[in-house]
Chains A and B, each alone.
Chain A
Amino acid sequence: MNNKLGLIIAGFVILLILLMNSFYSVDETEQIILTQFGAPIGDAVNEPGLKMKVPFIQKVNRFDKRFLEWDGDQNQVPTKDKKFIFVDSYARWQITDPLQFFRRLRDERGAQSRIDDILDGETRNAVASHDLVELVRTSNREPDMDAEIFDVIVDSLETIEVGRIAIQEIVLELANERASDLGIAILDFRFKRINYVEDVRQTVYDRMISERIKIADLFRSEGQGEASRIEGEKERELLEIQSAAFREAREIRGRGDADAASIYNEAYNSSATTRELYDFIKAMEAYGTAFDKQTTIFLSTDSEFFKYLKSID
């Protein structure tokens, strides 16, 4: 009784294991290659869901079908113009032909190291055959110079011939050529970080500092120049205003004097009697003002004034 139950249970378990082994699930993110004793069987399975296979004999090899990441190491590379820089790049790639991929690379680890070789090499070549500015700039865009700082300096960007994006495309194309029989496609390659190596950085800082000092000096001297110009303008205007006023005042005064003289002349010089009267009056006026308390005057009794003191005849 017990023995029979054991047999039934054992049979059931074996059946279950067989059943379990003849089904497999494929995730949305996966593609599958079935292998039989190590040799691939049939096409890749791309459709997700529950699938069947021959139990135990066929083995499931799962490959990711999403875009996969590749992150390059930081490489120290000299550019064509002998500048030492770090280049850190990334790429996205995909297993496009899982069968070929399985044959050539076996798994993702193998793929990553092949991609390392290919992309690192191509990056190195591309960097070494271009000037730094070509790797940094994308286009010959004109800099926008609206800020106040551009009052004193003119920014210029070097002209480039290739540019960052084009270089990335070159690397991508060459890498895909070399990876063409690996069952993968490299979809995108980009420079993530490009930077000077540590000891070059200091010289760049020094250059930036000296540039800033130059700009600061320009600002200061511009300020002084402008201040001097205003000062000069002030002095010129001051002199102009003062001298113009002086001239006008003198002219007005002169005209007044002239008008007065002509009025006098017309009256005093009109006849012999006016001249005589004028002479007399002026003499009298002059006497009136010419003497004061300190004056000592000797008057003769012969004078007109005293003549009546002597005699009334």
Chain B
Amino acid sequence: MSEFKNPFEGNDLNIPPQIKNLMGNIRMILIGIVAVVLLFSSVYTVEPEEVGVVQRFGEYVRTAESGLNFKIPFTERVKIVPVERQLKQEFGYRTVESGVQTRYTKAGYVDESLMLTGDLNLADVEWVVQYRITDPYNYLFKVRNPDKTLRDMSEAAMRQVVGNRTVNEVLTIGRASVAARVQEILQELNTEYETGIRIEQVVLQDINPPDPVKPSFNSVNEAQQQRETLINQARSEYNRVIPRARGEALQTIQQAEGYAINRTNTAQGEVAAFVDLHREYIRAPQVTKRRIYYETMQELLPKIGNKVITDQDGVNVLPLLQMQMEGALPVNQNSQNN
């Protein structure tokens, strides 16, 4: 006890009675501290998505479920493993800040994502491995550094799968099959290594040609579009012309039919009239002929502009009749003008 008082004795200070009191109770305080330490080292909490793996002198004894748990202080140790949490590893990029607008960085991870395809071209593949720890015992005690192991396995598996496909396959239709195959291989490896990890999903993010090659890949897409455009233009021209021509052809044919029907009907009509006339004609040929002749002349002569009637014998005055000379005048005028 005297040791504790020594520093104060040297000085001429007035020690407050509270401190003196405290000094008197130092034994109690020490016991209290020991009790608190013991309590804190024997109680621990496990969150809902975790389990606690308890080791006594290094030996595994039990797995603690979530909630408040107890252990023997100083002889038992607890390692917390998040078994229900979905964990992920990113390849070729890293999430810098996740949120509504997640930011990514790709700088410095090109080596992770650049890989050889089966036809010895290069492709830039970015992917995510989502996994869960299903066996905390294996996870902790079978493999050292299981996360690093998973990283190495993922890279090897992805390269193995991509290496067995052509660059065109990887960039176009191969996506789903690549992801499925990688997941399969990874799961096999994890089972073999007993990492206690289950692969939930392998998700391929971007698969791109390497940057220097990108423009030429885009130009292929463009050319593909151009091909479609050219073909579509030709098709639309075809569609513009051909159905119309078909309609026009039908029109021509219909017109011809009309013409033919018109012709036969006309003929039949005319013939019917002729037959009737002929019947009468046979009965009185002279009269009929004359009647027609006079009727024709009657109709015809008024239409003729200039009529000169001559007498063969010259006995009568010439011209005997000059009907409507005006009708002939335009002819004379024309000839004068010329």
Are the C-beta atoms of A49 and B58 separated by less than 8 Å?
yes
Are the C-beta atoms of B237 and A234 separated by less than 8 Å?
yes
- On whether A252 and B257 interact (CB within 8 A), knowing A90-B152, A204-B122, A216-B216, the answer reads yes
Q: How far apart are the CA atoms of A129 and B69 in the complex, in Å?
A: 59
Residue of B nearest to A90 (CB): B152
Which of A103-151 touch B at CB < 8 Å?
Answer: 132-133, 136-139, 141, 143-150
B281 within 8 A of A: yes
Q: How far apart are the CA atoms of A213 and B217 in the complex, in Å?
A: 8
Q: How far apart are the CA atoms of A278 and B273 in the complex, in Å?
A: 12
A169 within 8 A of B: no
B262 within 8 A of A: yes
A311 within 8 A of B: no
Are the C-beta atoms of A138 and B160 separated by less than 8 Å?
yes
Are the C-beta atoms of B122 and A260 separated by less than 8 Å?
no
List the count of A-B residue pairs having beta carbons below 8 Å apart: 361
Specify which chain B residues have a CB less than 8 angstroms from the CB of A211 in the assembled complex. 121
B235 within 8 A of A: yes
Main secondary structure of the interface of B (DSSP, over half): helix
Are the C-beta atoms of A288 and B253 separated by less than 8 Å?
no
Specify which chain A residues have a CB less than 8 angstroms from the CB of B256 in the assembled complex. 248-253, 256
Q: How far apart are the CA atoms of A228 and B223 in the complex, in Å?
A: 17
Chain A interface residue bracket vs B: 35 or more
Residue of A nearest to B296 (CB): A284
Are the C-beta atoms of B212 and A297 separated by less than 8 Å?
no
Q: How far apart are the CA atoms of A190 and B300 in the complex, in Å?
A: 117
B66 within 8 A of A: no
Main secondary structure of the interface of A (DSSP, over half): helix
Residue of B nearest to A213 (CB): B216
Specify which chain B residues have a CB less than 8 angstroms from the CB of A202 in the assembled complex. 212
Contact flags (1/0) for A195-213 with B, using CB distance below 8 Å?
A: 1100001101101110111
A residues adjacent to B (C-beta < 8 A): 25-30, 47-50, 64, 66-69, 71, 90, 92, 132-133, 136-139, 141, 143-150, 153, 155-158, 164-165, 188, 190-196, 201-202, 204-205, 207-209, 211-213, 215-220, 222-224, 226-231, 233-234, 237-238, 241-242, 244-246, 248-253, 255-257, 259-261, 263-264, 266-268, 273-274, 276-278, 280-281, 284, 287-288, 291-302, 304-306
List 9 additional A-B contacts (Cβ < 8 Å) besides A27-B59, A219-B223: A69-B152, A137-B163, A153-B168, A188-B192, A192-B159, A202-B212, A215-B223, A223-B231, A288-B296
